[in-house]
Structure 1
Amino acid sequence: MWNETPSNEAPFVKVEGLTKQYRSDLPPVFENVSFSIHKGEFICIIGHSGCGKSTILNALAGLEQATRGGIVMAGKEVDGPSLDRGVVFQSHALLPWLSVEDNIAFAVRSRHPRWSRNQVAEHGARFLKMVGLKDAEKKKPAELSGGMKQRVGIARAFAVEPKMLLMDEPFGALDALTRGVIQDELLRICADTRQTVFMITHDVDEAILLADKILLMSNGPRAHIAEIVINTLPRDRQRETMHHDPQFYRLRNHLVDFLVHRSKQLQVNRNLKAAYGEPVVVRPGLDSLKVVASRDEAIPAARVATRPA
């Protein structure tokens, strides 16, 4: 079945009590957000606009300071940007005056400033080949399609060999066919490199395809992580066939029900203490309750449940 992280393995990333409040006379965008990520896990976070998903990602990247709480990665506090955390934004953010290979080289030199030109080129070419763009290395961004630009952005992020990859809806502007191709590339690369990934998406099917765990956020303001959904589909799942697994529809229905109904109810009840308990850890893809590892999926004192689809 799915890959289960050993219960005795310490979290690679630990987020504790994260709160963001822009003005003292307004409620926080989100508050008391806590979760853990283990090495090699692919985490997706889903929630309605305004719940603070991008702010959480920017805090993980060190690009934004939280009002309260902290983030620790590999035993060190995150207090600013670092090459250990690569970011792929919604826009490709390529330098338009540089070729594809030079855009990659620019990033590689930031990681390896003493490398020769040949070392940089060989390293960059490996990642361009990995995303299927070896033949486009001399082209400028203006000569590329939207999907190709995003692939260059992904190659550039991987080329600096970050310890964690952060992705902010990187495929949101792409057509369905191109998005599917890049999703497949991302799955293959992550399987080869065991890359740790934190990704924002609004696409439920994309989350089921890519993620090991899916964090569901309540609506803002005062948003929080309401549920942690364990993806119990086999990790070698494929886009073309995963819908044949009966678990797929249980997972999908659970996620859609949260976004359409339960997230609104949490917003209505946001002043109730019950709305701010520990996130529920759920396995909606299973037909019966499974025994969860002692760490409760790295969420202290989390409640564990399965809910009908």
Structure 2
Amino acid sequence: MTKFLEIQGLRKSYPTPDGKEVSTVFEHANFSIEKGEFVCVIGHSGCGKSTILNILAGLDEASDGLVLMDGKEITGPSLERGVIFQNYSLLPWKTTLDNIIFAVRARWPSWDKSKVEAHSKRYLELVGLSHALDRKPAQLSGGMRQRVSIARAFATQPQLLLMDEPFGALDALTRGVIQEELIKIWEESKQTVFMITHDVDEAILLSDRILLMSNGPKAQIAESVKVSIPRPRTRTDIIHDENYYKIRNHLVDFLVNRSKGLSGSVCDVKPDHQPLTVDLAAS
């Protein structure tokens, strides 16, 4: 794998209501993601996780710093970056299949109708929705809508897929099923993924690495934890891996006990700060 996404000195600040001071959400964010890597980021609300994702998507601008994808600076939205939000974002007047076709046509306008349709159906099949091609979003459950959203994002084959708590609104059982669908489709596509989650177990199941953010204001990406559990993974099998509880306990300890003390508001964060790399399999 090669270094694909580079984030250098990223900072996001907002003026206070009186306009006299600046409130810094996060600062000195430096990290990289390799091609084909699945990376999750975890942190308490208000630390700037979604803001970082929106900057990577080109939907927001950083106050300082640089984001490079494949050596080129990200300056705005692009079809090379796909986003999956928590609220599905489907077109309510279009069928399941037409929602995918709409995105695929935008991505490859030169493709003929039959190629677009075959490509779209293939990705719906990967998320188990071949039986629901003609249904509209209102006729689908929340879990099915999110499967359509996932299929649409993967079908456009973006170089970078950004996911903002895509399963946060789903019940635990549905979330588990869709996590397995996501693993299956990611293992086939090997696309690069950056995902926000609040679920420690979800992060361990899905990711190659987990970035831990300290509390805001002046949050920082404090640690990069390697998930040393072989793939393929399932929810029932990973709990038996010798590294599972080492990783889980480390993540919970960070979130409960250490994230506040590492905040830039209470400690001196250097501009060239690099997150601590943690490989618990080696400990």
With the length of structure 2 as denominator, give the TM-score of the two structures.
0.95
Superposed displacement of residue 114, structure 1: 2.2
Q: Deviations over 1:16-60 (max 9, x none)?
A: 001001216132100010100001100000000000000100111
One-letter amino acid of the structure 2 residue matched with residue 134 of structure 1: S
Q: Deviations over 1:271-303 (max 9, x none)?
A: 43268743211112x253xxxxxxxxxxxxxxx
Helix, strand or coil for the counterpart of 1:105? helix
State the match for 2:5 in structure 1: 13
> In structure 1, what is the Cα distance between the partners aligned to 2:256 and 2:82?
32
Q: Which has the higher strand share?
A: 2
2:37 paired with 1:41: yes
Helix, strand or coil for the counterpart of 2:14? coil
2:70 paired with 1:78: no
State the match for 1:99 in structure 2: 95
Query: Where in structure 2 are the equivalents of 1:139-154 lying within 5 Å?
Result: 139-154=135-150
State the match for 1:303 in structure 2: none
> In structure 2, what is the Cα distance between the partners aligned to 1:20 and 1:52?
8
State the match for 1:272 in structure 2: 267
> In structure 2, what is the Cα distance between the partners aligned to 1:36 and 1:266?
20
2:22 paired with 1:30: no
Whether the 8 Å contact between 1:228 and 1:280 is mirrored in structure 2 is yes
State the match for 1:263 in structure 2: 259
> In structure 2, what is the Cα distance between the partners aligned to 1:273 and 1:114?
53
State the match for 2:212 in structure 1: 216
One-letter amino acid of the structure 2 residue matched with residue 57 of structure 1: L
> In structure 2, what is the Cα distance between the partners aligned to 1:273 and 1:64?
27
Distance 1:275 1:233, change over 3 A: farther
Helix, strand or coil for the counterpart of 1:33? strand
Q: CA RMSD in A?
A: 1.4
Whether the 8 Å contact between 2:9 and 2:28 is mirrored in structure 1 is yes
> In structure 2, what is the Cα distance between the partners aligned to 1:271 and 1:47?
17
Superposed displacement of residue 270, structure 1: 3.1
Task: Find 2:223's aligned residue among 227, 238, 254.
Answer: 227
Task: Find 2:121's aligned residue among 110, 121, 125.
Answer: 125
Whether the 8 Å contact between 1:266 and 1:275 is mirrored in structure 2 is no
Superposed displacement of residue 195, structure 1: 1.1
Task: Judge which range, 271-280 or 54-63, deviates more.
Answer: 271-280
Superposed displacement of residue 247, structure 1: 0.9
State the match for 1:180 in structure 2: 176
Which blocks of at least 5 consecutive residues in structure 2 are unaligned?
Answer: none
Aligned length: 278
Task: Find 2:233's aligned residue among 217, 237, 242.
Answer: 237
Distance 1:81 1:118, change over 3 A: same
Helix, strand or coil for the counterpart of 2:8? strand
With the length of structure 1 as denominator, give the TM-score of the two structures.
0.87
Helix, strand or coil for the counterpart of 2:252? helix
Whether the 8 Å contact between 1:15 and 1:34 is mirrored in structure 2 is yes
2:110 paired with 1:114: yes
Which blocks of at least 5 consecutive residues in structure 1 are unaligned?
Answer: 289-309
Superposed displacement of residue 12, structure 1: 0.5
State the match for 1:294 in structure 2: none
